[in-house]
Amino acid sequence: MDPSLLDDLVAANRILAEHGVIDAYGHVSMRSPGNPKRFFLARAIAPQTVQAGDIMEYDLDSRPIDARGDSVTERFIHSEIYRARPDVMSVVHNHSPSVIPFSVTGVKMRALFHMASFIGDGLPVFEIRKVKKGSDLLVRDPRLGAALAKSLGKEAAALMRGHGSVTVGENLQRAVGRSVYLEMSARMQMQAMLLSKRITYLDTSEVKASAPVQDYKRAWPMWREKALARAKAERR
Amino acid sequence: MDPSLLDDLVAANRILAEHGVIDAYGHVSMRSPGNPKRFFLARAIAPQTVQAGDIMEYDLDSRPIDARGDSVTERFIHSEIYRARPDVMSVVHNHSPSVIPFSVTGVKMRALFHMASFIGDGLPVFEIRKVKKGSDLLVRDPRLGAALAKSLGKEAAALMRGHGSVTVGENLQRAVGRSVYLEMSARMQMQAMLLSKRITYLDTSEVKASAPVQDYKRAWPMWREKALARAKAERR
Amino acid sequence: MDPSLLDDLVAANRILAEHGVIDAYGHVSMRSPGNPKRFFLARAIAPQTVQAGDIMEYDLDSRPIDARGDSVTERFIHSEIYRARPDVMSVVHNHSPSVIPFSVTGVKMRALFHMASFIGDGLPVFEIRKVKKGSDLLVRDPRLGAALAKSLGKEAAALMRGHGSVTVGENLQRAVGRSVYLEMSARMQMQAMLLSKRITYLDTSEVKASAPVQDYKRAWPMWREKALARAKAERR
Amino acid sequence: MDPSLLDDLVAANRILAEHGVIDAYGHVSMRSPGNPKRFFLARAIAPQTVQAGDIMEYDLDSRPIDARGDSVTERFIHSEIYRARPDVMSVVHNHSPSVIPFSVTGVKMRALFHMASFIGDGLPVFEIRKVKKGSDLLVRDPRLGAALAKSLGKEAAALMRGHGSVTVGENLQRAVGRSVYLEMSARMQMQAMLLSKRITYLDTSEVKASAPVQDYKRAWPMWREKALARAKAERR
């Protein structure tokens, strides 16, 4: 892969960890620009330690093309979303701490902040119990991945009950930016709900005007530069 | 411009980012000390990376005098407030996270902490929907800027529904300090409202005694020195 | 002791402090791998400053084998849990800030996040007042330690009213990981309870599937490496 | 003054700033060990930048013995408490963010966490309005200082409505430790009150057993060492 794209993915791992959106167990992938049936994802290590050499290539059955270590158990989240959503070029799975309370209450996350307008008038929640009873909540196989992809539908993100969430984008920057601002928006919505029962959310026309143009382009170069500087310092 | 004033503006960008008051998308400007029809504002980059060379000069139609890169889309916030408010020498636009919940609930922010006494007995909220339906919430043109300036009126700050806020001051230090303490005061008011329905806010005479003298002068030299040390370190 | 195990315990002290789970007064111990009637615990200093030379060995009466300074007052928490629970190889005592509110309200902590599934359908709360009236809340002697161990029963953690909590594990990594995720889960549960009265907790079968396999293995190497790098830097 | 005591006071300034208990406007003083009618307090700069050379000596009328710059406006907080309370050897004034919401609601802070047992069954709140109407809330003269000292009475701390709080101790370490844990306890109490209407606070006998022995001795050496290392690094 183009070294600059590889660097983008290294940076994405670290940016998400820095923002507290993923802990040691989140992951972010990128569909191969050259082959839509392949994607790139780091081996099973903590995202904030990822270097270019940790990135592995997978096919859409989540089989590693070039194994460089253990694979992430939940890689099926990625492969099945790429299979179901040709428009998606990047997928993030996280344990975003302010999003999880929404996942277990049935309270809908809704767009109230223009930086997270992609939330629209509500995000779906994946209830793994409907597909598999007595699970450990992990998306451990293609069937669970496909069920999650089905819950996600055409949305930009889906919550996973008692577990976290998944965000997607037409490019890596958007999937990363959406994860960062989904967490912020969750915190803001919680606070707004404590302040009042009457909240003005973005209306449909505002979502339509805002979401497609929000590409987090002003944040990305700064995030990337800082992340790669840390990666470089740690390689020494 | 005087290099020391330029450094003030560089520092202001970084101070606001450090305090979590602006993310990559906030901005801070300063009216030209020599020409009241001009103002200074960094090009469209993340504020925490701003250096002196990124500062551009604008006229009150938000046209760059000396383009050094892309202009911030929402520069009309600045130009229209400078036009409407001859007393204002500095403007900050932010996505202050604890202020946004107030912007979407209609719950009034009120002065409850002497460091943010400028809030007085309530801040106005700019509802962009009243001026433009189906917007992406951004202040993209002079008409929206003028409407925001009108909402602001003679106040020191205004909330922007679903978006953030704007704070102004008779000098840069005050506009920056007000942004920092507006965020803190929002958090405190939220907590006070959860604790009790009866809150003792600053009364009119207390606001009148406190707000005009609060200039954040003890914080500024420390904030400035640390910010410029970081700026210098990053230039190497 | 094996130097690598000693390093594990040094790292554990620092990891818990870094995560804000223990302040200067928490502590973490490890049962001796060679002698089940002995355990290792640092002398009475702030955990984030612990080095290998600060680790002391104790017997199950909490008598130091090789005194290298003052012993922690509450070492009886450790000795009595090791006595009562042969399966436990590591004990953490902390002042975990989001857990304490649960300890004083009688509101049950329950598993709502798969990373803290060990919480199961509720954690016991140790009420020291039932054993000793007018105490300073510290577990200052074997009798109080035994009472705490009895409250803990067969669980993975117990809250201590107005004081903190204790977490245990079949190995050090698990006791540490459980402390970190107990704090996160407490915060999430509080937020979920503010959002709604109907919360979907992990059900019994999900707890059974998840808790025994959750060993925090992906986080540990990163946590350990960073902690030991700091320890080394401070020794210079 | 003994250089080691001077270092203690330098460290105290920085420790409180590091913990987010004081912003640029808080201050901490120490009564002179040699002369009970004198005390030491830094000049009017941000506490986190204080060096030994910034410390000034004052008499109990808050007149500087050896002016080395501007005096803190609110030095009368210190002089009047030292005058009224011969047992007090150190005073901290802060804008502790989680304490302020209690100061404006009339909700009593009570001891619920053994590390802040000094709170006892409630802290007094100083309402400046009862002494001076239309003030800027600052303790600008001996009369206001004396009124605050009267509100404080024999307690270890008092809240100041819409402003912050003051904590005192028989030594510097205790005044500093109490400020740090007052902030934590405020946050915990707020959370406990949101979880339930029935909270188990420390009872009178527990407060009596705990408060007099709580001297924050395990935290202090670590806090001090880190603070002085930073002070030294900044002097270079």
Catalytic residue among A74, A80, A170, A225: A74
Contacts of D102 in chain B (CB under 8 A): 195
Closest-approach residue (CA) in chain B for D71: B218
Q: Is C192 on the interface with A (CB under 8 A)?
A: yes
**Is residue A216 within 8 Å of A177, Cβ to Cβ?**
yes
CB contact under 8 A, B198 and D134: no
**What pLDDT does residue A2 have?**
86
Pick the residue of C48, C75, C96, C136 with the most D CBs within 10 A to test the interface with D by mutation.
Answer: C136
- Band of pLDDT at residue A67, cut at 50, 70 and 90: confident
DSSP 8-state assignment for residue D129: G
**What pLDDT does residue D236 have?**
74
Contacts of D133 in chain B (CB under 8 A): 205
Q: Is D131 on the interface with B (CB under 8 A)?
A: no
Nearest CA-CA distance, residue C166 and chain D, Å: 15
**What pLDDT does residue C2 have?**
86
Reply yes or no on whether the pLDDT at A68 is more than 90.
no
**What pLDDT does residue D47 have?**
95
Contacts of D48 in chain B (CB under 8 A): 222
CB contact under 8 A, C188 and A97: yes
Burial class (CB in 10 A: 0-12, 13-18, 19+), D234: middle
**Is residue C89 within 8 Å of C67, Cβ to Cβ?**
no
Closest-approach residue (CA) in chain C for D210: C136
Average pLDDT over residues A33-37: 96
Q: Is B23 on the interface with A (CB under 8 A)?
A: yes
Give, in order, the Cα–Cα distances in Å from A178 to each of A3, A216, C162: 24, 8, 39
- Annotate D117-140 with b (16+ C-beta within 10 A) or e (fewer): bbbbeebbbbbbbebbeebbbbbe
Reply yes or no on whether the pLDDT at A1 is more than 80.
no
Say whether D201 sits in a helix, a strand or coil: coil
Nearest CA-CA distance, residue A109 and chain C, Å: 11
Average pLDDT over residues B142-156: 98
Give, in order, the Cα–Cα distances in Å from D29 to each of D42, D55, D82, D93: 8, 9, 10, 9
Q: Is A201 on the interface with B (CB under 8 A)?
A: yes
Please state the separation of Cα A215 from the chain's center in Å.
15
Q: Beta strand C90-94 with C164-169: parallel, antiparallel or unpaired?
A: antiparallel
Of C195, C202, C221, which has the smallest distance from its Cβ to A105's Cβ?
C195
Say whether A98 sits in a helix, a strand or coil: coil
List the catalytic residues of B: 74
- Dihedral sign for Cα C7, C8, C12, C18, please: positive
Catalytic residue among D18, D57, D74, D206: D74
Pick the residue of A112, A182, A213 with the most B CBs within 10 A to test the interface with B by mutation.
Answer: A112
CB contact under 8 A, D200 and C161: yes
Please state the separation of Cα B84 from the chain's center in Å.
16
Give residue C56's region: left, alpha or beta (phi > 0; psi -120 to 50).
Answer: beta
Of C202, C206, C218, which has the smallest distance from its Cβ to A46's Cβ?
C218
Q: Is B14 on the interface with A (CB under 8 A)?
A: no
CB contact under 8 A, B135 and A184: no
- Band of pLDDT at residue B119, cut at 50, 70 and 90: very high
d(CA B129, CA C130): 60
Please state the separation of Cα A158 from the chain's center in Å.
9
Reply yes or no on whether the pLDDT at B118 is more than 90.
yes
Pick the residue of B43, B99, B136, B159 with the most A CBs within 10 A to test the interface with A by mutation.
Answer: B136
Nearest CA-CA distance, residue B136 and chain D, Å: 34
CB contact under 8 A, A114 and B137: yes
Contacts of D187 in chain C (CB under 8 A): 97
d(CA A214, CA A223): 16
- Annotate D14-23 with b (16+ C-beta within 10 A) or e (fewer): bbbbbbebbb
CB contact under 8 A, D46 and B199: no
Catalytic residue among C74, C80, C127, C225: C74
Contacts of C216 in chain A (CB under 8 A): 24
User: Which residue, C173, C40, B162, is CA-closest to A117?
Assistant: B162
Contacts of D97 in chain B (CB under 8 A): 184, 187-188
A155 is catalytic: no
Q: Is B131 on the interface with A (CB under 8 A)?
A: no
Q: What is the mean pLDDT of chain A?
A: 96
Ranges of residues in chain D with a pLDDT under 50 are: none
Of A46, A102, A161, which has the smallest distance from its Cβ to C219's Cβ?
A46
| Chains in contact with B, counting 3 or more C-beta pairs less than 8 Å apart as contact | A, D
CB contact under 8 A, C187 and A162: no
**Is residue C212 within 8 Å of C65, Cβ to Cβ?**
no
* Angle at CA of residue B156, ends A209 and A186, nearest 5°: 40
Any idea which residue has 């690094």 for tokens? D233
Reply yes or no on whether the pLDDT at B1 is more than 80.
no
β partners of residue D55: D42
**What pLDDT does residue C67 have?**
84
**Percent of chain A scoring above 70 in pLDDT:** 100
Give, in order, the Cα–Cα distances in Å from C163 to each of A29, C92, C95, C151: 43, 14, 6, 15
CB contact under 8 A, B191 and D193: no
DSSP 8-state assignment for residue D71: P
What interface predicted TM-score (ipTM) does this complex get? 0.96
Contacts of C101 in chain D (CB under 8 A): 188-189, 191-192, 195
Of C196, C206, C216, which has the smallest distance from its Cβ to A137's Cβ?
C206
* Angle at CA of residue A141, ends A135 and A147, nearest 5°: 80
**What pLDDT does residue A82 have?**
98
**What pLDDT does residue A136 have?**
97
Cα-Cα-Cα-Cα dihedral of B39, B40, B45, B51, to 10°? 180
Lowest mean pLDDT among A177-191, B207-221, C178-192: B207-221
Q: Is C163 on the interface with D (CB under 8 A)?
A: yes
Q: Is B233 on the interface with D (CB under 8 A)?
A: no
| Chains in contact with D, counting 3 or more C-beta pairs less than 8 Å apart as contact | B, C
| Chains in contact with C, counting 3 or more C-beta pairs less than 8 Å apart as contact | A, D
- Band of pLDDT at residue B68, cut at 50, 70 and 90: confident
Mean pLDDT per 10-residue section of chain C, whose length is 236 residues: 92 96 94 97 95 97 93 97 98 97 97 97 97 97 98 98 98 98 98 97 97 92 94 89
**What pLDDT does residue A32 have?**
97
pLDDT digits (tens, 9 = 90+) for D62-121: 999 988 899 999 999 999 999 999 999 999 999 999 999 999 999 999 999 999 999 999
User: Which residue, D86, D192, A127, is CA-closest to B195?
Assistant: D192
d(CA A107, CA A110): 9
Give alpha helix (H) positions in C40-84. 76-84
Q: What is the mean pLDDT of chain C?
A: 96
**What pLDDT does residue A94 have?**
96
d(CA B223, CA B11): 8
pTM as predicted: 0.96
- The count of CB pairs under 8 A between chains A and B is 92
**Is residue D27 within 8 Å of D42, Cβ to Cβ?**
yes
Closest-approach residue (CA) in chain D for C190: D195
Of B46, B106, B133, which has the smallest distance from its Cβ to A219's Cβ?
B46
User: What are the DSSP calls for A164-211, one per residue?
Assistant: EEEEEESSHHHHHHHHHHHHHHHHHHHHHHHH-S---PPPHHHHHHHG
Tokens describing residue B18: 């450090």
Tokens describing residue D58: 């004052």
Give percent helix, percent strand, percent coil of chain A, each to the nearest 5.
45, 15, 40
Q: Is C201 on the interface with A (CB under 8 A)?
A: yes
